[in-house]
Structure 1
Amino acid sequence: MKICYPCDRPRLRFGSIVTLALAMILAPAGALRSQPLQIAPGFREPLSVSGVSGGPNNSGDCGFVAQGPNHVIEVTQDLPYWRIAVQTAGAPSLMIQGPRGRFCVLPANAAAGNVEFSGYGDKGTYVIFVGDRAQGQHPYSLSITQQRN
């Protein structure tokens, strides 16, 4: 009779260890990119962040987006009004997944590089992807304000 201890535990192979180590090293870089921005009524305005639009994933109706969100926003209290505006070149889109569902925002003018989402802001988490409908990648500036135009 052969005794195996501990037979019920999976064994790690060298390749698994290398993959796990790489994931641990690279994960913080992606996590920093999507650290939640916390917003509540009366936040200091305008809140501005930047990045690069587009990515390899075809969202279907909202252009090409990155593998992970460009930004994560945590609204800690309902906002009576807020506006998220993106300025960039190319054919931008703004995909937002929030407490009330998923929204795809396209520019009012197809030739414009500006995209805006505005209205009531429910308390909750908003995952934001700045996409590009022509599969391009361009630097962008995203600003958040409570001021109406």
Structure 2
Amino acid sequence: MKLSAQWSIIPTAIATVFALSGLAASQPVSISPGSQSISLSGTSGGTRKDAGCAGYIAKMPNHTIQVTADTNLRLSLQGAGAPTLLITGLQGQNICLQADKLSKGKIEIPGRWTKGTYSVFVGDRAQGQNPYTLSIAPQKR
């Protein structure tokens, strides 16, 4: 009986590890000209201290955005705590913004996005972990 109870713990532990690792990996989102607006959500923060402006971020990006052709987009982040938004893009370029008290946890980035893949990290300056919503919308010139 004891042996059988111990063996049932191992598959449960393995399943838990795979489930948690799936949460850490970001699913790519594809954006093309004329796409509909999309809304993504998650939890900000992490254990990795970013030396730049992003505060504490996760080891893996919260989201991966693939822009299929040059297009105008508006990214809007709404979150609790002290949210930051770090986007790494083509050739190691970084965009990093912080919400301030006046914005009440909102960060917006409008502009022209070049075809390519971007990693999005939603951090927290105070090492908190808070819910957020990231909206990506096409924008007219």
Q: Does 1:94 align with 2:76?
A: no
Residue 76 of structure 2 corresponds to residue 85 of structure 1:
yes
CA separation of 1:110 and 1:35: change in aligned 2, threshold 3 A: same
Instruction: Tell whether 2:106 aligns with 1:130.
Output: no
Residue equivalent to 2:22: 29
CA RMSD, Structure 1 to Structure 2 (Å):
2.3
CA contact (8 A) 2:36 2:138 kept: no
Partner of 2:36: 44
Q: CA deviation at 1:104?
A: 0.7
User: How much identity, in percent, do the aligned residues show?
Assistant: 44
Query: Structure 2 CA distance, aligned partners of 1:54 and 1:28?
Result: 17
Query: Distance between the aligned counterparts of 2:69 and 2:130, measured in 1?
Result: 32
Equivalent residue letter for 2:116: G
The 8 Å contact of residues 32 and 67 in structure 2, kept in 1 or not, is answered as: yes
Please identify which structure carries the higher helix content: 2
Tell me the amino acid that sits aligned with residue 56 of structure 1. Answer: T
The residue that corresponds to 1:58 in the other structure is 49
Partners in 2 of 1:142 and 1:118 — Cα distance?
A: 13
Q: Which amino acid aligns with 1:120?
A: R
Query: Unpaired runs of 5+ in structure 1?
Result: 1-21
Shift of 1:87: 0.5
- Which structure has the bigger radius of gyration? 1
TM-score by length of 2: 0.78
* Aligned residue pairs, count: 125
Query: What code does the residue aligned with 2:26 have?
Result: S
- Aligned residue in 2 for 1:103: 95
Shift in Å, 1:127: 0.1
Distance 1:27 1:65 in 2: 17
TM-score, scaled relative to structure 1: 0.75
Question: Could you list the per-position Cα deviations for residues 32-61 of structure 1 after superposition, in whole angstroms to 9, with x for gaps in the alignment?
Answer: x4121001000012x001000001010112
Letter of the 2:22 counterpart? A
